[in-house]
Structures are given as C-alpha cells and as structure tokens.
C-alpha cells in the first residue's frame, strides 16, 4: 500500500492550505543548480515512462485529478521525483521492480531524507496498487488531513 513521508515540523492551516509561502514553494525547484546529466536523465524518464507512470500521468496531467498541478520527473536537490506538486510540497513515487535492488533502496532512502529536510512529503505507491481509484483516495485523504498522512 502507499505510505507518506513528511517533515514532522510542518504546520498546516487547513485541508487545502499550505502554510509555506509561494516564494518558498518555488524556491524548491527554481534557482537550483541542475547538472546537464540530471536534466538529461529526467528528460529520458519523461520520454520513456513505465506503464504505471504513463497511466498515472494520464490521470494527473492538466489538473485532471482534484485540480492539482503536477510535474513529471522533477529534479529536486539532485534527485528526480516521479511526480511533484509544488503547491503542496508533495511528491509521488511509483515503485516498480527496479526499486527492489539494494542500490535503489539506498537511493530512495537518501532522496526521502533530503525531501523531508526540504519539507516535501512523499507518497510511495507500488505498481500493483497504482489504480486511478486508489490514487484518488490517497490524495483526497491526504488533502482532507491537511496535507498529512
């Protein structure tokens, strides 16, 4: 099933509000140094998504689900998030078989720690649990809880 990682010190002001300022939200992804290698990797991932990523993007793109704006393969602090919603500091990671190797687990753990330090919560969904209804339920519950698990 899905699990959410979040920074413990983030305070929310209601179910659809983010206590962070718009300036802070954009600073997560703007004005960061991104190597050409990471930029190219993100581009490659966008051009050849997994089946699960393709399905999820079809449900989320263009604010189709709950009016949230998402970015695919967003580089943040040198790591690539499968999907990122800047408005709510929320990343979605779609975990397939590639995440089972020890190297992938280390990368995922490091990325998760960096994201938490930056105030980004991560929802992890396995390929097997990746349906439109499940994703909608997870996001609705997340929003109703004020952006917490």
- In this predicted model, what pLDDT tens digit does every residue of 66-122 receive, in sequence order? 999 999 999 999 999 999 999 999 999 998 876 678 888 898 899 999 999 999 999
Give the containing element (helix H, strand E) for 94.
strand 90-95
Buried b (16+ CB within 10 A) or exposed e, 130-144: beeeebeebbeebbe
28-73 residue pLDDT tens:
566 678 888 999 999 999 999 999 999 999 999 999 999 999 999 9
In the predicted structure, residue 142 carries a pLDDT above the cut 50: yes
| CA-wise closest residue to 82 among 25, 127, 18 | 127
66 CB neighbour count, 10 Å cutoff: 14
Alpha helices in the chain (DSSP H): 22-29, 36-47, 51-60, 102-117, 132-144
User: Is the entire prediction scored with pTM above 0.85?
Assistant: no
CA 74 to chain CA centroid, nearest Å? 8
Fold designation for 3-7+13-144: Endonuclease; Chain A (3.40.960)
Query: Which tokens hold the place of 130?
Result: 């990746």
Task: List the chain domain ranges.
Answer: 3-7+13-144
């Amino acid at each position: 099933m899905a699990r959410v990682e979040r920074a413990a010190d983030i305070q929310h002001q209601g179910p659809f509000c983010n206590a962070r300022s718009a300036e802070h939200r954009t600073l997560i992804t703007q004005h960061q140094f991104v190597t050409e290698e990471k930029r190219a990797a993100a581009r490659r991932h966008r051009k050849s998504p997994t089946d699960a990523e393709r399905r999820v993007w079809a449900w989320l793109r263009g604010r189709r689900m709950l009016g949230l704006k998402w970015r695919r393969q967003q580089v943040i602090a040198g790591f690539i998030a499968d999907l990122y919603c800047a408005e709510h500091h929320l990343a979605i990671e779609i975990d397939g078989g590639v995440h089972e190797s020890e190297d992938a687990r280390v990368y995922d753990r490091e990325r998760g720690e960096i994201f938490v330090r930056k105030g980004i919560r991560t929802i992890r969904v396995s390929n097997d649990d990746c349906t439109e209804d499940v994703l909608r339920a997870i996001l609705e519950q997340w929003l109703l809880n004020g952006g917490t698990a």
